[in-house]
Amino acid sequence: MKKFNNFYIIITLIFFSCEPDDICLQSFEDTPKIIIRFYDEKTSELKPIKNIKITSIKSQDTLHFEETDSIAVPLNHNDNYSSFNLNIESSQVNNSDNILIDYEKKPVYISVGCGYILNFKINSLLIEKDSDNWIKNYNIYKSNIENEETKHVEIFH
């Protein structure tokens, strides 16, 4: 009987010393992307772009959009800057501009199961000048990138 009580006590202690598995649910946010919206340079109204290709200069990863007035682009997690080539292609035009985004990374702890995500704070954005820039101007609308619910950068073309 005493052995049974000892066994019961040990099992009870083991049971209560276990922690539940900490899994990362789909409802948790992931590292947010930068949201870029495109506007008409004269009227400041949203102006969609056709056939835009965004290529990361460092990694050569490419995103392609048939027609859009807004894009979500992931920033480089390893550096404090990302550089992209934004190329518009059509039968009349093939023009590309390079942009460099300088930012600070801000790690945010979610949980043991999820780990960390990165938020960003844009310090500056630079458009490389060439003889025929299709990007005429820009505005950093919201420098803190903490979610994908609002635009962060406005590009006027």
Convert the pLDDT of each residue in 11-62 to its tens digit: 666 666 555 556 676 666 789 999 999 999 999 999 999 999 999 988 888 9
At 59 the pLDDT is 84
State the DSSP H helix or E strand holding residue 146, giving kind and residue range, or none if neither.
none
pTM, two decimals, is 0.80
Structure tokens at 104: 């600070």
Give 149-152 contacts, CB < 8 A, sequence gap 24+.
150/35, 151/35, 151/36, 151/37, 151/70, 152/34, 152/35, 152/36, 152/122
